[in-house]
Amino acid sequence: MAEGFNQFRADFPILQQTVNGEPLTYLDNAATAQKPNQVISALTDYYRSDNANVHRGVHTLAERATLKYEAARKKVQTFINADESAEVIFTKGATDGLNLVASTYGEENVHEGDEIVISITEHHSNLIPWQQLALRKKATLKYIGLTPNGEIDLDDAARQITDQTKIVAITHASNVMGTITPLKKIGELAHQHGAILVGDGAQAVPHIKVDVQDLDADFYVFSGHKMMAPTGIGVLYGKRQLLEEMPPYQYGGEMIDFVNLFDSTWTQLPWKFEAGTQNIAGAIGLGIAIDYLNTIGMAQVTVHEQQLVDYVLPKLVAIDGVTVFGPHDPSRHTGVIAFNIQGIHPHDVATAFDMDGVAVRAGHHCAQPLMNTLGQVAMVRASFYLYNTQTDADKLLSAIKDTKEFFNYGAVKA
């Protein structure tokens, strides 16, 4: 089963260490994924051999850097099945991409009395840009609610999306509960009412096969660092027609065609949205991370994570005093699981886990409206990826047992 993926752990040097005297069990992948040697080497190779600015020089280093940078764009295009590479815009990350769409398409197309529809599960990155756009434009921000088991309610989506809706912006997979959104169905609802679909794929692209044309997404964003690429690099996919109509997001070098004293014209896609010197090394690293995922196969990555969730989720649900949030059906999950231990603050749980060498995340996970809806201040989140194994799942279960015993012992002594 999942132990068959042990072979990939050797590619990740950070996983070969101990923390507090225990082998590292890294279960904070929803925050950021670790980097394989192949990505690390690509970064050092670029800086050692090819470091130059792209598109701006005719010398050999500039040409090599440009070829690698644009090759990475082509890899992204193929990976998400965009129609053409010009529809792939390099950004700082998913947050940057969402702000770009809100500040350009949103600013031009949302007016007083219009509606923007998101869900109560959204990460703040896919909430605040729309919230602030709605405030600026005197538009109405609406929220799709949840079913009793913590999934996006499609019936409520049909109620919230109306002919006044201009933008529907929805996560493809929850960063808190790991639930996968029926994004294609929500997109169909949006398009029936003349609205566009913006997909937040930060928690989806690293874990499942994403086809933006099949989803019929108008815009789709994701971050490189959650899929083993460097930090500071991400992608905005947009349909060409929409990108062509949008004004630039930032102004400066690289994105211009002609600059006159009192006006300017903009260059073609995708460079119209890539002002200034980009994260060249990051883009190259993203391309190598995609190569790595393609070598394994996204279907195999999904199956591996599903096996881990199939194994650990029922065991978590069965532990006395542990509350698991979101659906308890493993088939409804990515590798993200949120839970709390009764009577122990999530931050104390995460600290106790760390003493066992288990790295998890605790807090509101940049999803405070969701926390409020669920009546929680914070949660513990364990998130698995392709280099995790059943042994890691067992370490998580063992850490819960140890933590419960420690705090119960302390309570008795006190």
- pLDDT reported for residue 270: 97
- Chain centroid to Cα 140, Å, comes to 26
- pLDDT reported for residue 1: 45
- pLDDT reported for residue 350: 98
- pLDDT reported for residue 332: 86
Overall CATH class of domain 2-31+297-404: alpha beta
- pLDDT reported for residue 4: 58
- pLDDT reported for residue 56: 80
- pLDDT reported for residue 282: 98
Number of Cα atoms under 13 Å in the Cβ half of residue 320: 2
- pLDDT reported for residue 408: 81
Query: Do the Cβ atoms of 248 and 268 come closer than 8 Å?
Result: no
- pLDDT reported for residue 341: 97
**Positions of the chain with pLDDT under 70:** 1-5, 409-414
pLDDT tens-digit map of 72-104: 999 999 999 999 999 999 999 999 999 999 999
Overall CATH class of domain 40-295: alpha beta
- pLDDT reported for residue 147: 95
**Burial readout 287-326 (b: 16 or more C-beta within 10 A, e: otherwise):** bbbbebbeeeebeebbebbbbbbebbbeebeeeeebebbb
- pLDDT reported for residue 3: 55
Structure tokens given for 29: 């992948």
CA 73 to CA 379: how far, in whole Å? Answer: 37
Question: Which one is catalytic: 366, 373, 402, 407?
Answer: 366
Query: Which residue bears the tokens 């790595």?
Result: 292
pTM over 0.85: yes
Q: What is the dihedral of CA 69, 72, 78, 79, to 10 degrees?
A: -150
- 2-31+297-404 and 40-295, same CATH topology: no
Nearest to 384 by CA among 317, 287, 308, 324: 308
- pLDDT reported for residue 413: 37
| 184 among known catalytic residues | no
Query: Do the Cβ atoms of 359 and 22 come closer than 8 Å?
Result: no
> What residue spans define the domains of the chain?
2-31+297-404, 40-295
- pLDDT reported for residue 17: 96
